[in-house]
Amino acid sequence: MKEGKKMNYKKHLWRRRLCDEFGITVKELILSFATEGYSMRLTIGALGINMETLRNYCRREGIQFPDRAHLRAECKPRPGASAKGHINNPWGRAGKPFKKGKNETNHRAEAGVKEIS
């Protein structure tokens, strides 16, 4: 590519853009990401395409990305990210446990919220 010349590609010409950019075929490029243990999300970020485009291409070409157990460390989901509640809240989504006093009623029990023990 000449200096100063900007390459404009239409939406459906993403394969040509990737071939020009990396110098190898798209199938080899995507296979290299998959065999190295990268996730589909990281791959679409690196290649500049969307998830549906990558899924359709992989389905057509028979490319399988590794499951979560076999991903690289930087591609694995954060621990606790899928747990319910906020990560910064140590008591989870139910909130801080209610301390019962002598003359106090348990407003959480009345509301139907389970106590944490």
pLDDT for 32: 94
Instruction: Identify whether the C-beta of residue 53 lies closer than 8 Å to the C-beta of residue 14.
Output: yes
Mean pLDDT of 35-49: 92
Tens-digit pLDDT profile for residues 56-101: 999 999 999 988 888 888 887 666 555 555 556 666 666 667 666 6
Copy the structure tokens of residue 52. 């549906």
State the Cα angle at 72 between 70 and 86, rounded to 5°.
95
Percent of the chain residues topping a pLDDT of 90: 40
Q: Is the pLDDT of residue 11 over 90?
A: no
Q: Is the pLDDT of residue 42 over 80?
A: yes
Instruction: Identify whether the C-beta of residue 70 lies closer than 8 Å to the C-beta of residue 34.
Output: no
Q: State the pTM of this model.
A: 0.57
